[in-house]
């Protein structure tokens, strides 16, 4: 599983990354997490609001910071 956290590196992006790591740990899933900070790359996904989460090249959400519980639903399916 390849997970990308899209955002310019703001505190919300860092929170999303931390929550994602926590959710993966709770689910005992191994995944590669990449940070994408280039606006050109972010816009290539059609994202207009950050932070956003991409799992295996599928945009799961944008413009919010889901809780660890919510993230577990995105990552488990």
CA distance 19 to 2: 16
What torsion do the CA atoms of 61, 66, 72, 73 make, to the nearest 10 degrees? -50
Residue 13 falls in the annotated catalytic set: yes
Do 22 and 15 contact (CB within 8 A), yes or no?
Answer: no
Geometric angle at alpha carbon 66, from 35 and 6, rounded to 5°: 20
Residue 60 falls in the annotated catalytic set: no
Q: Out of 1, 2, 9, 10, pick the active-site residue.
A: 10
Q: Out of 3, 5, 13, 54, pick the active-site residue.
A: 13
Catalytic positions, written as ranges: 10, 13
């Amino acid at each position: 599983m390849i997970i990308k956290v899209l955002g310019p590196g703001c505190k919300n992006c860092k929170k999303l990354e931390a929550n994602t790591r926590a959710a993966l740990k709770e689910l005992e899933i191994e995944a590669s997490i990449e940070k994408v900070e280039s606006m050109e790359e972010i816009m290539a996904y059609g994202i207009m609001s950050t932070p956003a989460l991409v799992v295996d090249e599928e945009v799961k959400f944008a413009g919010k910071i889901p809780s660890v519980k919510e993230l577990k639903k995105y990552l488990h399916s």
